[in-house]
Structure formats: structure tokens, C-alpha cells
Structure 1
Amino acid sequence: MATYAIGDIQGCFDELQNLLEVISFNKNDTLWICGDLVNRGPKSLETLRFIKHLGSQAVSVLGNHDLHLLAIHNGAIKKKKSDTLDAVLNAPDRNELMHWLQQQPLLHSDTSLNFTMVHAGIPPRWSISKAQQLANEVESILKSPQATMFFEHMYGNSPKVWSNQLGGWDRLRLITNYFTRMRFCTSQNELEFASKGGLETQPNGFLPWYKHDNRKTAKQPIVFGHWAALQGKTGTANTYALDTGCIWGEKLTAFRLDDLAYFETPSLQKNTF
């Protein structure tokens, strides 16, 4: 019985199956998926069906590409030319799959394993309990009749810094951006969206969210995805970056929470950074 966390799959279903063979995944094991199950890769539909079929054996958090798919499904936006989501959007079980996806959390924390999972990160000035409380606010909207309105207001880069006084769609948008889009920020939780590469693109006055000395979650082990340019390396205790660029021709990685062991399988994709 083991628990494995896996980085961004993004429709790389064949690599997922290969990785499950590498770890000898069985009915007694559990998968944690760090978000971005879909898009850019060739088999988003197969990926969604498979993870949904695993039932309680799988726990997934929402990534920015998952939310993008849900926004399209809910009629809030039109798909982009670069999206590879047609098979999902034309599937006979589309509504069932989208209902399942929309029920997934933004943050998952397991006290027995002493691990927390998010897609992008947790801003420095939030504790785990604060992060869980704010994630719940967005999750409640996603499960409510207001979900379509949320998707209509979800996109945008402002506000960029947290205040407890924030309300309405601004509040929900910023919470969502922290959990699903964050890379660099200040110690005061101010976000920066322009820099999407590795640490060499770090802007003045900003650090990776996990590098701040005053970070309230520094002692809490966290697994996250989203940032392929890190190549799985944070250089920081208790933070485990698991997006290792499978969609970009690199590899898909699994991390066993029980003993901190890594496993990988090479990408079958032709994309490059």
C-alpha cells in the first residue's frame, strides 16, 4: 500500500500508463495528481476517463488547464486554436466527466501522510489552514449554480496581492490564481505573471513562492506541479516539484510520499521547451 504523487499529465495518457507499470501500481495504492490532467497532449479524454474510473484510488487537484476546460464546457469562453480538447468536448460522456472534474478540489491535505498537494503553490503569508479555508471558498462556488458566472470572471491578472478585505469575483480570482498560476511572488504575496521560465527569469523583487524565508508553510511537505522549467528541482526542503515537462518531450514523474522515492518514464511527445 503506497501513495504516489504524479506531476502534470496534460493528456499524456500513454506515458501515464507506462509510469504506472514502472511503479507496479495496484488496487491497494493511491494516486495523487497535481492538476493539469488535460490539454496540449493527445489523449485528454482517455486521461479523464481513467482517473475518474479509479474512484477513491485517485485524488486530483485542479490546475489552470483543467479550469480552462471547465470554462469552455460551461460556455464562459471559446476554446483556443492551441487547445487539444475536441475529443473531450465531443465525447458522449462529456457532461459526466465535466461534472466529476468540477467537483475536484484546489488543495488536498492529508494529516496522516503529513503532505499537502496543490497545482501551483501556496503564497508565503498563508498557513495550511488559511489556504484550505480559501480553497473551500472557490470550491463551493464551483459546486454551486454560480459556477458559470465564476468562469466568466475567472480570467485576469488583477488583483495581484492578497487582502482579507477583498470580496466578490476579485477575491475568488486571486485565490484561484495563487493555487493554479503562481510561480514568482513577493514575501507579501504579490504575484508576477510575466516570467514563466526557470529561475533565470526571476524578476527583481520576486522569488519563487517556496523560497521566502518567512513562508508559513515552510515545515509542511508540499507537492506541486505547474512549473516544468524547474525540471523537478526546488533546492528547498519540504517542497517537491513534480511537473517534469512530459508534454515538452521530457519525462513524467511519480513521487512516493511514503519514502520520498522518485520514479519516471520518458515522454513520447515531440514538443520541446
Structure 2
Amino acid sequence: MTTYAIGDLQGCNGQLSHLLDAIDTHTPDAKLIFVGDIVNRGPASLATLRRIKALGPRARIVLGNHDLNLLAVSCGLRKPSASDTLDDILQADDREELLTWLRHQPLAFAEDDRLFVHAGVLPQWSVAQTVALSREVENALQRDDWVDFLRNMYGNAPAGWHDELQGIDRLRVIVNALTRIRFCNRDGTMDFKTAEGIEQIPAGLQPWFDMPNRGTANTTVVFGHWSTLGLLVRPNLLGLDTGCVWGGKLTAINLQDRSLIQVDCPQHQRPGKS
């Protein structure tokens, strides 16, 4: 079956409608994989979330940082920022159904020799380890005390991985790698200050995907999150955040032949971090 991977939506339901129409014209009933940040900053987060959920088994998603932010805001652990557009979800009659569905989605999964994540992976991790670590966070999100996990999830430390990490420190590193990473320091620790593209890489940093001896280098990693990077197509990498909410494009790529379908998007937010 033909499968399309689709970049960050961020609540741009109108553009999603156009994209799905274009996909269905080319390949009716194609399978769809969304690489996270389904909601927030765009104009129609509720409609977007409902649409993805209604696709049922045709679609899979991984959670992004904005999806986790919605969960944290929904239980009062974070105050909405000025750029958040989550009120329609928070006030919806089906709010709890949607939020329960969202927190039962993965942060990473592997399929057909590809690894799907929102942001990236630490260089030390293999594909199997990435999926296993993702499941640890997924289990925390699905437990009865999931709010306690979210209460302690945010923070930049620890910035690096070692196998002996335990408890919330371990889970925080996993979340930050899978939903926030862009650059790594030479020692493999994560940098959270830099969000630019790769035209002028700051001294001492490397994009996570260019780190030496990356454990996932022999698998195609499909990701989003990095709008200033834009579309990146390499033999072992597919970066799909083409800045829909910033006035760029919404991108889908056919994973079988790598043909692209893109729709133009109006600017809903001023350029900034994804």
C-alpha cells in the first residue's frame, strides 16, 4: 500500500483538507503518517485533531512538543502562551475523548525499515532502543497518574543520555530527544538554544542527524519539527516541516517513490521556533 508521510500541521485544517484531496486524487485510500505537532499556533486545532482521529486505522501519528503542550495545558500544568491556539479544543464537548486519544499515541515507531519521530534521536540510540525508550514515555502518559508525569516532564536537564538514568530524568531526556532536539554538542548532549537552519551552524554544534556514528544511520528517519531547516531529502533522512503555520507549505512525501505533494499556506504566526 502507498504511504505518505506528512509534516507538521499545527492546526492548519484548511491546508490539510487540500492536501488530503490531492493525495486522494493520486492514490485513493493511501496510508498516512503524521510526524507530530498536529495542533497549536494554527487557526483550527480542534478541527485538525478531530479530522486526524476520524481517519482511524488509515492514519498514524507520533506526538510532537505542541501535542504534549496541549496535554499539559489541559490539566492546568502550563499556562497557554500568547501564540497558543488551543481554546477550541479545551472548550469542546468531546475534549476528554480527544485528549485521551492523543495521550495514547506513540512518540516513535518503526515500520518498513523507517523510523518515525517528531524531532530526532540521540546519536547513541539504535532504532530498537529508540522505540523501546519511546514506549517508556508512552506507558507514563497512559497510566492513571499521567498528570504527575507531565508535571515533571519539562526542563533541559539532563541534556545527555546514559543507560543508568532512572525515573523522571530518564523520561525527560527521552521526551526532549524525540520532540525537541535539533542540534547536539560534540559530546552528544542536546543543545536547546539554537533553532536556526544549517546554513551557518554555530561553532561546536552539529545537527543531530550529522553526528558521527549515529546509531540510526542505516535506517531512514522521518521527522518534522524544524521549520527553519525546511524540506530535507537524503537517502536516510526525510525532514518534512516546511513551515505551514509560518506561511510556507504543507508537505506530504510518498514513501515508496519519494514524490512530493505540497500545498501553499497563509502565514498564521510570525516566524519563530516550531
TM-score band, normalised by shorter chain = over 0.9
* 1:199 aligns to 2:190 (yes or no): no
* 1:165 aligns to 2:190 (yes or no): no
Aligned residue number for residue 3 of structure 2? 3
Secondary structure of the structure 1 residue equivalent to 2:157 = coil
Structural mapping, 1:15-26, within 5 Å = 15-24=15-24
Compute the displacement of 1:186 (Å).
Answer: 3.2
- Larger deviation, residues 212-221 vs 199-208: 199-208
Cα shift readout 1:98-121 (whole Å, capped 9, x = no counterpart)? 0000000000211xx221110000
Q: Which amino acid aligns with 2:83?
A: S
Alpha-carbon separation, structure 2, partners of 1:13 and 1:270: 12
Aligned residue number for residue 58 of structure 2? 57
Q: Which amino acid aligns with 1:59?
A: R
Compute the displacement of 1:76 (Å).
Answer: 2.0
Compute the displacement of 1:48 (Å).
Answer: 0.4
Work out whether residues 225 and 243 of structure 1, in 8 Å CA contact, stay in contact via their aligned partners in 2.
yes
Aligned residue number for residue 239 of structure 2? 241
In structure 2, relative to structure 1, the CA distance for the partners of 1:27 and 1:146 (3 Å cut) is: farther
Compute the displacement of 1:201 (Å).
Answer: 5.2
* 1:184 aligns to 2:191 (yes or no): no
Work out whether residues 7 and 35 of structure 1, in 8 Å CA contact, stay in contact via their aligned partners in 2.
yes
Cα shift readout 1:78-110 (whole Å, capped 9, x = no counterpart)? 222221100000000000000000000000211
Work out whether residues 10 and 44 of structure 1, in 8 Å CA contact, stay in contact via their aligned partners in 2.
yes
Aligned residue number for residue 47 of structure 1? 48
Cα shift readout 1:50-80 (whole Å, capped 9, x = no counterpart)? 0000111110000000000001112322222
Compute the displacement of 1:270 (Å).
Answer: 4.5
Secondary structure of the structure 1 residue equivalent to 2:195 = coil
Work out whether residues 27 and 57 of structure 1, in 8 Å CA contact, stay in contact via their aligned partners in 2.
no
Structural mapping, 1:14-163, within 5 Å = 14-24=14-24, 28-110=29-111, 113-163=112-162
Compute the displacement of 1:199 (Å).
Answer: 1.3
Aligned residue number for residue 250 of structure 2? 252
Aligned residues: 270
Alpha-carbon separation, structure 2, partners of 1:258 and 1:54: 21
Dislocated runs of 4+, deviation >3 Å? none
Work out whether residues 3 and 254 of structure 2, in 8 Å CA contact, stay in contact via their aligned partners in 1.
yes
Aligned-residue CA RMSD (Å): 1.5
Secondary structure of the structure 2 residue equivalent to 1:203 = coil
Compute the displacement of 1:159 (Å).
Answer: 0.6
Cα shift readout 1:10-66 (whole Å, capped 9, x = no counterpart)? 000000111112222666311100000000000000000000001111100000000
- Larger deviation, residues 20-29 vs 10-19: 20-29
Secondary structure of the structure 1 residue equivalent to 2:98 = helix
Secondary structure of the structure 2 residue equivalent to 1:24 = helix
Alpha-carbon separation, structure 2, partners of 1:146 and 1:134: 19
Give the TM-score, by structure 1 length. 0.95
Q: Which amino acid aligns with 2:9?
A: I
Q: Which amino acid aligns with 1:262?
A: L
Gaps of 5+ in 1: none
Cα shift readout 1:153-212 (whole Å, capped 9, x = no counterpart)? 111111101111111111111110000000001354300000011114533222001112
Secondary structure of the structure 2 residue equivalent to 1:56 = helix
Work out whether residues 61 and 117 of structure 1, in 8 Å CA contact, stay in contact via their aligned partners in 2.
yes
Work out whether residues 24 and 30 of structure 2, in 8 Å CA contact, stay in contact via their aligned partners in 1.
no
Q: Which amino acid aligns with 1:210?
A: F
Give the TM-score, by structure 2 length. 0.94
Work out whether residues 161 and 190 of structure 1, in 8 Å CA contact, stay in contact via their aligned partners in 2.
yes
Alpha-carbon separation, structure 2, partners of 1:135 and 1:217: 15
Aligned residue number for residue 218 of structure 1? 217
Work out whether residues 41 and 268 of structure 2, in 8 Å CA contact, stay in contact via their aligned partners in 1.
no
Percent identical pairs in the alignment equals 46
Q: Which amino acid aligns with 1:90?
A: Q
Q: Which amino acid aligns with 1:242?
A: L
* 1:262 aligns to 2:233 (yes or no): no
